Structure 1
């Protein structure tokens, strides 16, 4: 929406004899700024993810650990090594949705938004070293 407003303002600014090359440069810069600010489409809400994690995942993964398979934690190094696709929100979403090995699938229990929020929380916590 902000990008659309920005583009409209730029187009209407040309009526005031602004150099069209400058307008094009500004529009391109706006598009780049918009895409950077928007981030990935699946980026979730970390706070909501923490609540969902605590209600659904913490029994096995409290503090980023794994009570079933101790080597497969939610710490950065383990996510890089064991998570299909590496350490990313998309990979966590796939794992949570489909499950794997002893981990059940949550795709039928949690909404896509909830899973995106959990993924954001897991990645954010792993980056912070699961410090609370």
Structure 2
């Protein structure tokens, strides 16, 4: 009986770890985004002000990793929100881009920030 209990606990642990891994994989919106499309959207809609992750309007508010963290813009939700709704000098794009395009460009921005825009 003790042996069955140990085997059952190990099996349960494996199942829980597998489910946790799948949950991470399926709940991450960046995985659902099309980074290549995000790059296209960025080049047409964003690069005018944010070339190479910079900011020609407000120098400190760049798309570089350090600035994104400093201003709380280092999550897919935060970037998607500001692209959608705008803020201060940043225009809203909810009327110009689809939800998918906003998700794609947001994922692209975060990926490029991780790569230091290289």
What is the TM-score with the length of structure 2 in the denominator? 0.82
Q: Deviations over 1:39-78 (max 9, x none)?
A: 41x2222111111111100111010011111111100111
Higher share in helix = 2
Aligned-residue Cα RMSD (Å) equals 1.9
Alpha-carbon distance in structure 2 between the residues aligned to 1:51 and 1:32 = 33
Match of 1:54 in 2: 43
1:107 to 69, 94, 99: 94
Q: Radius of gyration: which is bigger? A: 1
Q: Deviations over 1:80-118 (max 9, x none)?
A: 123xx4311111001100101111100111111111111
Q: Extract unaligned runs of 5+ from structure 1.
A: 1-19
Alignment size in residue pairs: 110
Match of 2:4 in 1: none
1:117 to 95, 104, 116: 104
SS of residue paired to 1:53: helix
